[in-house]
Structure 1
Amino acid sequence: MTDSTLARPATGPLARLRVAAADSLFRNSAFLLLATVELAAGGFLFWQMVAHLFPAAEVGRASALISASVLIGSCALLGMHNAVIRYLHTWEDDAATVDTALTTVLVAATAGALAFVALAPAVAPELAGLLRHPLNAALFVLLTSGYAVNMVGDNVFVAARRSGFVLGRNTVVVVLRLLLPLACLGLGALGIFTAYQGAMVAALVVYLFALRRVLGLPSRLRLRWDRLAAMWRYSAWNYLATVILMLPALLMPILVAERVDPASAAYYYVAALLAGTLAFVPQATSRSFFAEAERDPARMRASLGRVVRLTVAVELPMLLALLLGGHFALSLFGGQYAAAYPLLVVLALTQALTSIGYVGSTVLMVLGRLRLLCALSAVASAAALLGAYLLVGRGLIWAGWSLLIGEVILAAIYLLLIRSVLAASGTVRACVPSRLR
């Protein structure tokens, strides 16, 4: 055997896999993708079980209550989940940064949930009856706050390039979500809500253990005002952009329940649940890209190109599979749910375009162009919500068409942005075209 043979690098699938595993962008993305697929698969089984155990009207009320809880928890993040990625390694005391973010979000989520309970008779009469009892209201507040804290925890481990713990946490969530509905049969919509969000809150033990024992960041409820002051401007704009982006998807089940009926909300929620699987890849790759770009801004353009190629390569086959198998997948929830297949097609196309938005919005976050991000998101969200409010009474599918129109507007602008960043020369901070600043 010659020296040249000995020096030849190893080739083949295993060698390529080892090279990919050594790439932190790929590794972080892979763990996040697996974690998201696992959670979604568990959610699929959860809603399939629930659809057979509970009447459609109860499923519709529960989906609206869950959407309200997720919306409040997402608003309560105040942008701190992304500020953790941007600032975790800025100061030596990482624990103080994490504690400040967790404490801020916990207080905001508790206040938001209490406000919703108080205002429910006016803003969501269909849900007010579920929250009238003090114990039910307290449960809603507790589970909503715990959900928000979990979302911050996700990004702590993304920033630390230890997304394997997100996968571990999701395993616990899935197991609990498949066990708890049987224990909540007599509680109706509130039982479904408790099983869904309670599993997430109970699984927090995984994050608390990992923060202390693995990352060496003992989590305590303490607020460092100096950290909050340093993070606030970025997190506030990020918060506003995130809330605007999430409003159409989270408000739609509530809008359908109020303007059509609870059963239609259930059909919409299940169709949106299936279409949402198309967001798995861009969610994972964009968050990993964000963490990598903040650690090494010089590699932003190279990382962006890899993220775009990976997202497209996986997204297109997933879209085709969903379009071909969507009718069958809906029927697994019950015969009446299969009628929502036309809505599923529209929502699937919407989610495919949302992939462009995930990547484009992450580019703007890295570049610090958060005002532009807010403006673009506001235009798309306003178009979607206004269209749904005016047209959903004519038929459930109009909720899907309204979302698609908003996403087309957003995707067209983001495609221009991504192309400009990939083609530009010079520093990444100068990559945004002047007409988009």
Structure 2
Amino acid sequence: MSMTARSVPPPRAAPRLARARAMVRDPLIVNSFFLLATTALGAGAGFVFWLLVARLYPAADVGRASSLLSSMSLLSYFSLFGLNSTLVRHLPTSDRPAHEVGTALSTVAVCSCAISGGFVLLVPWMAPQLGFLHGSFLMAAGFVVLAAGAAVNLLTDSVFVAFRATRVNLAVNGVLMSLVKLALPVLFVSGGPFGVVAAGAGASTIAAAASVLAIRGVLRLRIRPAFSWQTLRATLGYSLSSYLSGSLNLLPQIVLPIVVLQALGPVPAATYFVAFQIANLVNSASYAIGEALFAEGSRHGAALGPIAVRSGKVIALATVPTVALVAVLARPVLHVFGPQYAAHGTTTLTVFTLGSLTVAFNTWVSFLLKLTRQLVAMVVSNAVLVAVVLVIVLVRLHHGLVWAAIAWGAGNLASGVAAGAALLAGGVRAPHTGRHRRAGKEHTTA
């Protein structure tokens, strides 16, 4: 037998190789992989960052800084006004992408400065422990600038997703941002609690600047500061619906830690925080694949049915084995953080992890709702999430921390069922929505 004959794969292997090649070339798979890699690098860098901060800064400074960074994250998200979803939905079919990106970036930057500036003014009354922000004008102004940088960085992520440039996003927000985040704590040790904030948020601001340069250099979009009310108005309904839906989805994550702290005390609250963060790493797979689904389904001529099926399979393959592994290893994983976490949080982590299955289902159908532009159903399904989580927590949390995990899983299941029912009723064929120019005027078609 010749060497050529030996090199030919057996007949049964050929279809497998073809399927493997198809998967490697599938934009849905490729974008999901790079988004997951970016998330994993960010999570790892965040873990090391807080280890460094805990060793370099006094505990009181760390406590104040962590609260301020959490507030900044919320302010940055609320400054997006749904434009992140709008860019992913419309950029693939836009004939003026540079103008739309420039308008979105300018709008978010201005809104973020206004919102974070209002927060700085109100902080002595809302959170006296954070009153150190008023120690100097430079500190207050620095907080506003860093918050705007974080918001812009969140928005640029959507640009990379829309243009299938998640490799660039990995380089900027995965590699560069992680390296900067680990270097800055040492430089700002003398800055007290604001030094921690400057280190954490400074990395996002540097990544935002690098992202803008990458959009101009790699994506060849000649973006510049701009504002067009006509551009914003064309997608205002979609943006605000996405914004309201996303805010409702975020609400339980904001409220649950506060309710647990008030109802059960600081030790269960710490256990809750650790368990939820571990489970949220499991959820990151479905979030990343959902973003890739959203981007692929938004492209011109996309067949939503096959994309929906493929993405559902990929989410299941990524989530189910991870859930099983973390559920089995819940106790030893928590023991790394300390014996008290393992003693009091194993059941909670297990339930949170099993709840990742309902989060994956809810994420999948929710992104399909966004693609099919069922805007009211998006809002209603997330309102169901909020209602179910809060009712269970308020009624049952006094029986133990595990009820916070049960509420989270049940809320996502109820929300997913509501979204799925709306999806089946409305159909899974998304109307094509693109931007076109006629007679010098911009309008949308559906």
For normalisation by structure 2, the TM-score amounts to 0.83
Q: 2:327 maps to which residue?
A: 323
1:20–1:26 Cα contact (<8 Å) kept: yes
Q: 1:92 aligns with which of 66, 91, 95?
A: 95
| Amino acid corresponding to residue 33 of structure 2 in structure 1 | A
Q: For 1:282 and 1:251, locate their aligned partners in 2 and report how far apart those are by CA, in whole Å.
A: 23
Tell me how large the CA RMSD over aligned residues is. Answer: 3.2
Q: 1:129 aligns with which of 113, 116, 131?
A: 131
Change (3 A) 1:226 1:120: same
Q: For 2:401 and 2:86, locate their aligned partners in 1 and report how far apart those are by CA, in whole Å.
A: 37
* Pairing 1:108-127 to 2, within 5 Å after superposition: 108-125=111-128, 127=129
1:271–1:347 Cα contact (<8 Å) kept: yes
2:88–2:161 Cα contact (<8 Å) kept: yes
Structure 1 residue runs without a partner (length 5+): 430-437
Q: 1:367 maps to which residue?
A: 372
2:93–2:299 Cα contact (<8 Å) kept: no
Q: 2:81 maps to which residue?
A: 78
Report deviation, 1:56: 6.4
Change (3 A) 1:251 1:380: same
Q: 1:376 aligns with which of 381, 386, 390?
A: 381
* Pairing 1:381-400 to 2, within 5 Å after superposition: 381-385=386-390, 387-388=392-393, 396-400=401-405
1:99–1:219 Cα contact (<8 Å) kept: yes
Q: For 1:268 and 1:171, locate their aligned partners in 2 and report how far apart those are by CA, in whole Å.
A: 29
* Pairing 1:14-29 to 2, within 5 Å after superposition: 16-29=19-32
Report deviation, 1:353: 1.5
Q: 2:228 maps to which residue?
A: 224
Q: For 1:227 and 1:148, locate their aligned partners in 2 and report how far apart those are by CA, in whole Å.
A: 20
Report deviation, 1:200: 1.6
Q: For 1:268 and 1:188, locate their aligned partners in 2 and report how far apart those are by CA, in whole Å.
A: 27
Change (3 A) 1:317 1:60: farther
Which range moved further: 74-83 or 33-42?
33-42
Between structure 1 and structure 2, the one with the greater Rg is: 2
Report deviation, 1:181: 3.0
Q: 2:201 maps to which residue?
A: 197
Report deviation, 1:393: 6.9
Report deviation, 1:162: 0.9
For normalisation by structure 1, the TM-score amounts to 0.85
Q: For 1:216 and 1:270, locate their aligned partners in 2 and report how far apart those are by CA, in whole Å.
A: 42
1:326–1:344 Cα contact (<8 Å) kept: yes
User: Aligned residue pairs: how many?
Assistant: 422
1:67–1:250 Cα contact (<8 Å) kept: no
Q: 2:248 maps to which residue?
A: 244
Q: For 2:292 and 2:411, locate their aligned partners in 1 and report how far apart those are by CA, in whole Å.
A: 26
| Amino acid corresponding to residue 319 of structure 1 in structure 2 | V
Q: For 1:312 and 1:118, locate their aligned partners in 2 and report how far apart those are by CA, in whole Å.
A: 46
Post-superposition Cα deviations, 1:348-379, rounded to whole Å, max 9, x if no partner, equal 23333211121111111111111111112112
Identity across the alignment (%): 32
Post-superposition Cα deviations, 1:75-120, rounded to whole Å, max 9, x if no partner, equal 1111100111122144322110101111111122222212223333
1:97–1:227 Cα contact (<8 Å) kept: yes
Q: For 1:88 and 1:326, locate their aligned partners in 2 and report how far apart those are by CA, in whole Å.
A: 42
